[in-house]
Amino acid sequence: GCVFYKLAFRAFPNHFKPDSIYAHYPMTIPEENKVIMKNLGREADYSWDPPTFNAPRVELKTYQAAETVLNDTRNFRVTWGDASAWVFGEKTGFDYMLSGDTPFHAKQRELLERSLYQEGWDSRLKEFYEQITLQLLHDKSYTLAGTKQVDLTRDVGNLATVHFAAHLFGLPLKTKGNPRGIFTEHELYMANAVIFQAVFFDYDLMRSYP
């Protein structure tokens, strides 16, 4: 049950929003359904806009095409503003520096660039990743059948980036050296992965809306 909407999405992939009430409750009258959802406190969970055709996604296959689109903010705009607002809230989500193409957003990107990419940033970043990679290899490896084993993707590659984010933004990781931290390594990885998926990688209608 509750998967009939996938049929509508697959039959009309360019007509529905991921949270369209018309797709999720196709056998109902939208006006009456809105009254019901309002009484249940779920009216805001759905889009009540009627289905309309949206042009399909166009792939850019040349450097020149990508450069043209990125430099023309008047005709080509970022597509994840709504997703960012859904994740972080209407009041702050649209203010995220990658959520728009306005001068306000451009100023934020310039500020972040000046703050992060100071002289010698690349060598310091390389040194950090070298140290954390060696540390994770040491901490996460184990012996099985007389052979050293480690899950390079789960316990090294993914977690190295988690430690970088925690170090950069002052997020309190719970580790052996800091048992009073708030997030475990895998908890913070999952939180970051979910945010990235919801904002930047949300193109499959069938998997977009839980």
Convert the pLDDT of each residue in 33-82 to its tens digit. Answer: 999 999 999 999 999 999 999 888 888 999 999 999 988 988 888 888 88
Query: How many whole angstroms separate alpha carbon 163 and alpha carbon 168?
Result: 8
Report if residue 172 sits inside a domain. Answer: yes
Its pTM stands at 0.76
Query: What is the number of structural domains in the chain?
Result: 2
Q: Among 19, 39, 56, which residue terminates a domain? A: 56
Report if residue 78 sits inside a domain. Answer: no
Contact 183, 174 (CB under 8 A): yes
| Confidence (pLDDT) at 119 | 93
Main-chain dihedrals φ then ψ at residue 20, nearest 5 degrees: -65, 125
Burial 132-143 (b: 16+ CB within 10 A, else e): bbebbeeebeee
Report if residue 183 sits inside a domain. Answer: yes
Query: How many whole angstroms separate alpha carbon 144 and alpha carbon 162?
Result: 26
What's the domain range around 51? 1-56
Q: Give the residue with greater pLDDT, 32 vs 74.
A: 32
pLDDT in tens, 166-190: 999 999 999 888 999 999 999 999 9
Compute CA distances 28 → 4, 23, 38, whole Å. Answer: 13, 10, 15
104 contact partners, CB below 8 Å, separation of at least 6: 95
Report if residue 149 sits inside a domain. Answer: yes
Main-chain dihedrals φ then ψ at residue 85, nearest 5 degrees: -65, -35
Is pLDDT above 60 for 26? yes
Claim to verify: residue 123 and residue 51 sit in the same structural domain: no
Report if residue 109 sits inside a domain. Answer: no
Percent of the chain with pLDDT over 90: 64
Report if residue 99 sits inside a domain. Answer: no
Contact 8, 23 (CB under 8 A): yes
Using 50, 70 and 90 to split pLDDT, how confident is the model at 209? low
Report if residue 77 sits inside a domain. Answer: no
For 76-85, 104-113, 119-128, which range has the lowest pLDDT when averaged over its residues?
Answer: 76-85
Burial of 42 (0-12, 13-18, 19+ CB in 10 A): exposed
Main-chain dihedrals φ then ψ at residue 147, nearest 5 degrees: -125, 135
Report if residue 110 sits inside a domain. Answer: no
